[in-house]
Amino acid sequence: MVEGSNLLSQLLSQGTDLILEGVVQPVMFNLGFGGWIEDSYEACEWVLWGLIELVVMVGFMWPIQKLWPAERESALEGAQKKAAIRADVIYTLIQRLGLFRLVFFILFNAPIDTVMGYLHVQGWPTYHLEQWLPGLANSPVLTFIAYVVVLDFFNYWIHRAQHQWSFWWALHSLHHSQQVMTFWSDSRNHLLDDVIVAFLGVVLTQCIGVSPTQFVLLVVLTQLSQSLQHANVRWSWGPLDWLWVSPRFHRFHHSMGEGHEFSPGVLGGHNFGVLLPWWDVIFGTANFENRFEPTGIRQEPGLEQSYGEGFWQQQLLGLQRLGRALRLTP
């Protein structure tokens, strides 16, 4: 097991070096950013993991959508359907190939490190789970599972806030506007929404002491699981549906109406768990009905809400919705 782990680490390191030296380094030198080479190594790791994720998505999730589709015909067909999926592919490439993380790193890594360093100097503690549960110290696997549970608990409440706070829903609704949901749809988010969630995630992981290696594995696990959840497949885990979020469980979260409303016109919904359905069960938002509903957002009577057909239009309209929610624009 140890030899296999060392071999994997060696292969990942070689792949990262190849991307850094063959692609990133020449570009950065030509652009005059040679001083950022060392910092860009981490971004190259994300690119490598993103490539691995894309291989899994295309090699596994694409075929199962063809074999077991939840929805053969959607509200959009033909050119509209292709355009909707194409936009989701662009979002996925931005997210999985490290572009978003690179920009986030440049803009926010230094301020976050400065603030966290100041808090540590002032005596603000880092709450390592191994300190609370000493039995975890000798088991990396149990430690990783514990971090999954703790982070998913916080992600459940972040997700609920995205649905119930009108200004945040103005951004997050873009994710729910997709009427042709596929495994590409997980990354269909407004960039500002992604920034807020990523910022909260980085602060939280630093506060509870998640190591860089654990953080990478947590992100990769979460992204692959969420891609499968969004896949257009008629899958559930049967009696184990309560254990891990299934495509059926999450599809109901995207269903038109019940997925994003507690009652008609009241922001909310069901099945907010990102990885674990437990929190939905505990807090009364779970729906385990074996239904595969059409996805999208129910329009308010007399109100036309367009979420745009392409990346830039969707981003612009999201900012306009945010301005209206904050009453900054008419």
Q: What is the pLDDT of residues 6-32, one digit of tens each?
A: 665 676 676 676 766 666 667 666 766
Same domain for 80 and 13: no
Residue 76 in this model has a pLDDT that exceeds 90: no
Same domain for 39 and 92: no
Q: What is the pLDDT of residues 277-301, one digit of tens each?
A: 999 999 999 999 999 999 999 875 4
pLDDT for res 2: 45
Is 61:77 a contact under the CB 8 Å cutoff? no
Judge whether 103 lies within some domain. Answer: yes
Same domain for 162 and 36: no
DSSP percent split of the chain into helix, strand, coil, nearest 5: 65, 0, 30
For residues 157 and 160, what is the distance between their CA atoms, to the nearest angstrom?
Answer: 5
Same domain for 161 and 32: no
- Domains in the chain: how many in total? 2
Judge whether 62 lies within some domain. Answer: no
Q: Is the dihedral angle over the CA atoms 251, 258, 73, 83 positive or is it negative? A: negative
Judge whether 63 lies within some domain. Answer: no
Same domain for 146 and 37: no
Long-range contact pairs involving 58-65 (C-beta distance under 8 Å, separation at least 24):
61/183, 61/227, 61/228, 61/231, 61/233, 62/183, 64/231, 64/233, 64/235, 65/182, 65/183, 65/231, 65/232, 65/233
For residues 33 and 28, what is the distance between their CA atoms, to the nearest angstrom?
Answer: 5
Judge whether 231 lies within some domain. Answer: yes
Is 168:158 a contact under the CB 8 Å cutoff? no
Same domain for 128 and 7: no
Same domain for 208 and 159: yes
Contacts of 189 (CB under 8 A, 6+ apart): 91, 171, 172, 174, 175
Same domain for 111 and 2: no
Same domain for 170 and 125: yes
Q: What is the pLDDT of residues 109-143, one digit of tens each?
A: 767 777 777 767 766 766 677 667 766 667 778 88
Judge whether 55 lies within some domain. Answer: no
Q: Quickly count: other Cβ atoms within 10 Å of residue 84's Cβ.
A: 24
pTM equals: 0.88
Judge whether 330 lies within some domain. Answer: no
For residues 102 and 84, what is the distance between their CA atoms, to the nearest angstrom?
Answer: 26
pLDDT for res 207: 81
Judge whether 42 lies within some domain. Answer: yes
Residue 69, SS3 per DSSP: coil
Same domain for 5 and 96: no
Same domain for 175 and 305: yes
Q: Whole domain around residue 12: which residue ranges?
A: 1-48
Same domain for 72 and 13: no
Rounded to whole angstroms, what are the CA distances from 302 to 44, 128, 268, 319? 48, 52, 21, 22
For residues 320 and 147, what is the distance between their CA atoms, to the nearest angstrom?
Answer: 37
Judge whether 284 lies within some domain. Answer: yes
